[in-house]
Every structure is written in C-alpha cells, then in structure tokens.
Amino acid sequence: MTSTPVVGIIMGSDSDWPTMKDAADVLTEFAIPYEAQVVSAHRMPEDMISYGKQAASRGLRVIIAGAGGAAHLPGMVAAVTPLPVIGVPVPLKYLDGMDSLLSIVQMPGGVPVATVSIGGAKNAGLLAARILGASDETIRGQLADYQEGLREVAIEKGRNLGK
C-alpha cells in the first residue's frame, strides 16, 4: 500500500494470517490503507507495547488484533492505546477457539476490546470500515452499497427455494 495505513492488523503469529487475511481482504475491497504484521504479546512484549503506544501518532485510527489460545494481544494493546481495538479470536487445534474467545472478550471495565466471533476477521474488517465511516462519507457510501449487495444476494437465494 502506498498511502499511510489507517488500520493496523496485528497478530500473535504468522500462523494466524490465514484467519486474519479476511480482514485485510475487506480493507482492500474498500480501498482503506492498512498494514499487517506479527506483534506477539508473549514472544515480543516490548515491541507490542511500542506498537500500541506509537499507533495513533503514526496515523493509525483502528487496530485489529488477532491471536489464538491464551490470546492476550488485543487486550494488552488496548491497554496502551486510545484507539479502538477489535479483537479476533483465532481458532487453534484444541478447544475450538473457545480459549481465544474467552481470553479476548472478558476485558475488565475501562479497557474495551470489540470482540468479533471466533475466526470472524471478515467482520473485524467491516467493523473497522464502519468506525472510519462514521466520519467519512465515502466509506459510508461504500458500506451502504455493500449492504445492498447482501440484500440482493439474500433475495436471489430466496428465489431458488423449492426449485
């Protein structure tokens, strides 16, 4: 991306990317500049704190953070940035992602993380677009078109019922 990223997609490991890529695909579709990188809470804690502290001054406006298992990344980043943080519970081999979900969603009052469903990176991308769209008419228009597209697909599928 050539323009300055306004969304930061971070994840605990490159093994999270197949899940997190869905968020990147949505942002690409809406032409929203983003960056994507591994910032592990457990393996590189000081880098994680620096990332969170510098995010707003670097021009980021929303952070999407995904992690699996003992998924501390979204909450820890939310603790050191005033930006909205969207957490994506990444499902791993065991526990079907319930561990990731509960690690991310049960934040203490005062430190919010907007948690999407297990593996729900697509909605994380869309939620980031909606947050940016609240103050950007162009993105709001794109979102309205997207929603109209959903409606048309649902109607079309309904037409095929019983055929």
Sorted by sequence, the CB contacts under 8 Å of residue 148 that are 6+ apart come out as none
Would the annotation count 96 as a binding residue? Answer: no
- Burial code of 149-158, b = ≥16 C-beta within 10 A, e = fewer? eeeeeeeeee
Candidate segments 55-63, 64-72, 127-135, 152-160, binder of ligand RP5 by CB under 6 A: 64-72
Q: Please pick, from the candidates 6, 10, 85, 90, the single residue that binds ligand RP5 as defined by CB under 6 A.
A: 90
Q: CB of residue 15 vs ligand RP5: minimum separation in angstroms?
A: 3
Minimal distance, residue 22 CB to ligand RP5, in Å: 15
Q: Residue 153: beta bridge partners?
A: none
**Who contacts 40 (Cβ-Cβ below 8 Å, separation ≥6)?**
12, 13, 47, 48, 73
Asked if 21 interacts with ligand RP5 (CB under 6 A), we say: no
State which residue, 6 or 121, has the beta carbon closest to ligand RP5: 121
Residue in 5, 8, 69, 87 binding ligand RP5, rule: CB under 6 A: 69
Structural tokens at position 76: 């820890």
Site size for ligand RP5, by CB under 6 A? 12
Which of residues 3, 4, 15, 147 is near ligand RP5 by CB under 6 A? 15
With 0-12 / 13-18 / 19 or more C-beta atoms within 10 angstroms meaning exposed / middle / buried, residue 144 is exposed
Contacting range for ligand RP5; rule: CB under 6 A; set: 7-15, 22-30, 127-135, 147-155: 7-15
Q: What are the residues binding ligand RP5 (CB under 6 A)?
A: 11-13, 15-16, 40, 42, 67-69, 90, 92
